[in-house]
Amino acid sequence: MQARIYTDNDANPSAIKPGPVAIIGYGSQGRAHARNLRDSGHDVIVGARAGGRAEAAAKGDGFAVMSPAEAAKAASLIALLTPDMSHAEVYTRDIAPNMSAGDALLVAHGFSIHYGQIQPAKDVDVILVAPKGPGDLVRREYERGAGVPSLFAVWQDASGKARDKALAYCAGNGGTAGGAIETTFAEETETDLFGEQAVLCGGASELVIAGYETLVEAGYQPEVAYFECLHELKLIVDLMYEGGLAKMHSFISETAKYGDLVSGPRVINAETRERMREVLRDIQTGSFARDWVLENQAGKPRYAALLREDLDQPIEHTGERLRARMGWLQPGANAGQA
DSSP-assigned letters across all residues of 177-227 = HH-EEE--HHHHHHHHHHIIIIIITHHHHHHHHHHHHHHHHTT--HHHHHI
In this prediction, residue 333 carries a pLDDT of: 72
192 is in an annotated binding site: yes
232 is in an annotated binding site: yes
The whole-angstrom separation of Cα 104 and Cα 123 is 9
CA angle 35, 330, 195 (to 5 degrees): 60
Beta pairing, strands 64-66 & 150-156 = unpaired
In this prediction, residue 334 carries a pLDDT of: 62
Cα 253 to Cα 236, 247, 250, 259, 260, distances in angstroms: 12, 12, 8, 10, 10
287 is in an annotated binding site: no
117 is in an annotated binding site: no
Residues 204, 122 share a domain = no
Residues 249, 152 share a domain = no
172 is in an annotated binding site: no
In this prediction, residue 335 carries a pLDDT of: 54
Helix axes 270-285, 287-297, angle to 10 degrees: 60
- Using the 3D structure, point to which of 152, 184, 216 is the last residue of a domain: 184
Residues 307, 165 share a domain = no
- Using the 3D structure, point to which of 184, 207, 229 is the last residue of a domain: 184
pLDDT by 10s per residue, the chain, length 338: 789 999 999 999 999 999 999 999 999 999 999 999 999 999 999 999 999 999 999 999 999 999 999 999 999 999 999 999 999 999 999 999 999 999 999 999 999 999 999 999 999 999 999 999 999 999 999 999 999 999 999 999 999 999 999 999 999 999 999 999 999 999 999 999 999 999 999 999 999 999 999 999 999 999 999 999 999 999 999 999 999 999 999 999 999 999 999 999 999 999 999 999 999 999 999 999 999 999 999 999 999 999 999 999 999 999 999 999 999 998 877 654 44
In this prediction, residue 101 carries a pLDDT of: 97
40 is in an annotated binding site: no
Residues 211, 179 share a domain = no
Residue 336 lies in a domain: no
51 is in an annotated binding site: no
The whole-angstrom separation of Cα 117 and Cα 98 is 18
The whole-angstrom separation of Cα 75 and Cα 59 is 18
Residues 136, 52 share a domain = yes
Q: What total of structural domains would you count in the chain?
A: 2
Residue 271 lies in a domain: yes
Residues 220, 112 share a domain = no
Residues 174, 118 share a domain = yes
Residues 177, 50 share a domain = yes
Residue 189 lies in a domain: no
Residues 155, 21 share a domain = yes
List, by residue number, the catalytic residues: 109
- Residues across the chain: 338
Residues 68, 200 share a domain = no
Residue 292 lies in a domain: yes
- Using the 3D structure, point to which of 132, 163, 184 is the last residue of a domain: 184
Cα 84 to Cα 39, 153, 200, 275, 289, distances in angstroms: 27, 17, 19, 26, 11
Closest-CA residue to 127 (of 74, 71, 185): 185
The whole-angstrom separation of Cα 31 and Cα 25 is 8
Show the domain range for 322. Answer: 196-329
Closest-CA residue to 153 (of 135, 165, 139, 171): 165
Q: What's this model's pTM, rounded to 2 decimal places?
A: 0.93
Residues 131, 229 share a domain = no
- CATH code where residue 78 lies: 3.40.50.720
